[in-house]
Amino acid sequence: MIFVAAIILGAFVGWRRAARRGGNRLDKIQYAATHAIFFAILGLFATILYYRLT
């Protein structure tokens, strides 16, 4: 669950960041994808850590 939430949150953050910088639609998609991948990796580590500690 953390993994999926991290992907969605990352895509949203990337989209908003590109929009604030005045990017076009392709810039927004690229930022959203990059942030989604980064947040997914963080979410995966958080999920593994959570299951290891419980």
Closest CA to 33 of 5, 11, 6, 8: 11
pTM: 0.89
Give the pLDDT of the chain (54 residues) as one tens digit per residue. 899 999 999 999 999 999 999 999 999 999 999 999 999 999 999 999 999 998
Q: Positive or negative, the Cα torsion across 30, 9, 43, 39? A: positive
pLDDT of residue 1: 86
pLDDT of residue 20: 97
